[in-house]
């Protein structure tokens, strides 16, 4: 996972995630920007977030995923809170 590799290399002080919001709908987005767009449902978004966090080796990065666009508000410090964050995501996905 390249995003995790980049984060590990940079070791940022702060890292957050956002979900693309389409206030005018998917069709309007496709019409304006062209190309193909594959919309992810909530389970897929949570799986991707889990993979991203799982594959990072961050030391003291403040993590936030608590914007209105996120379906699951999360916050913590990676790596200290990594397992707690992963457990919360897994519980939300219904796989614990």
| pLDDT of res. 70 | 93
Q: What is the pLDDT of residues 50-92, one digit of tens each?
A: 999 999 999 999 999 999 999 999 999 999 999 999 999 999 9
Identify the three-state secondary structure at position 2: helix
Other Cβ atoms within 10 Å of 67 Cβ, number: 12
CB 6 within 8 A of CB 54: no
pLDDT at 35 over 80: no
């Amino acid at each position: 996972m390249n995003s995790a590799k980049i984060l590990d290399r940079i070791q940022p002080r702060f890292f957050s995630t956002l979900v693309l919001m389409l206030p005018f709908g998917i069709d309007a987005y496709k019409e304006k920007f062209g190309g193909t767009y594959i919309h992810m449902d909530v389970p897929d978004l949570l799986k991707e977030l889990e993979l991203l966090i799982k594959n990072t080796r961050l030391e003291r990065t403040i993590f936030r995923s608590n914007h209105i666009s996120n379906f699951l508000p999360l916050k913590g410090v990676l790596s200290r809170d990594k397992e707690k964050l992963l457990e919360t995501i897994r519980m939300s996905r219904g796989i614990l």
